[in-house]
Amino acid sequence: KVEPTCEAIVDIVFLLDSSGSLRKYYQNEKDFLKSVISAFGVSFNGTRAAVITFSYHAQLSIKLNKYSNLNSFKEAVDNIVLMGSTTRIDKALRLAQKEVFELENGARPGVAKILFLLTDGSQTQERGSENPVAIANELRSAGVTIIVIGITNAVNVSE
C-alpha cells in the first residue's frame, strides 16, 4: 500500500482530455492522473478530487464529494470512457468554473483549489468557442492554481 506523500488539504480538479487524437494514449493519461492523485490521497476531510472529461462536450465525470478513498476514485477514473471527438478546452475550463468549484458539488470554502489540465493539443477553433486563456485567467483570479500537463508533443505552449 502506497501512502500519500502530500498532507495538504486541497480540492483538486482534473480536466481529462478525451479527444480522438488521444485514443492511443488515453489509458496512459488516466494512469498519470491516478499517479498524481496518489501523492495526495483522497478523503472526505483531506484532499478531494474531481474529474471533468472533455472533447467536443465537457462533462463532470466525478464530483469533488463523490469518493472518500483513493482506491474507489482510481477505479472510477479507469471507468471513464473516451469521448473521441474534438478538443474543447474552453468548455472544460468553463464547467470547472461554473460547477465544480461550487459548494453543492463538494468544494469547500477556505481550501486551496488546484486544477490540472491534461491535454495533447490546441483548442479546436469552432463557432462559439472561447479563448481558454481568458477563462484560465478568470479561474486564477478566483484563487485557483492551474497546472497544465502536456500529453504527447502536440501541445500548444502558448495556450
Q: Name the architecture of domain 10-150.
A: 3-Layer(aba) Sandwich (3.40)
User: The whole model's pTM is what?
Assistant: 0.91
Report the pLDDT value the prediction gives residue 5, as an integer from 0 to 100.
Answer: 61
pLDDT in tens, 131-147: 999 999 999 999 999 99
pLDDT grade for 151, boundaries at 50, 70 and 90: confident
User: What pLDDT is recorded for position 141?
Assistant: 96
Q: How far apart are CA 33 and CA 27, in angstroms?
A: 10
CA distance to 4, 22, 143, per residue, from 109 (Å): 23, 35, 11
Q: Is residue 47 a contact partner of residue 9, using CB atoms and an 8 Å limit?
A: yes
The string of pLDDT tens digits covering residues 6-37 is 678 999 999 999 999 899 999 999 999 999 99
pLDDT tens, position by position, 65-92? 999 999 999 999 999 999 999 999 999 9
pLDDT at 125: 82
pLDDT tens digit sequence for 30-70: 999 999 999 999 999 999 999 999 999 999 999 999 999 99
Interatomic CA distance for residues 83 and 106, integer angstroms: 25
Residue 122 CA to residue 98 CA, distance in Å, equals: 22
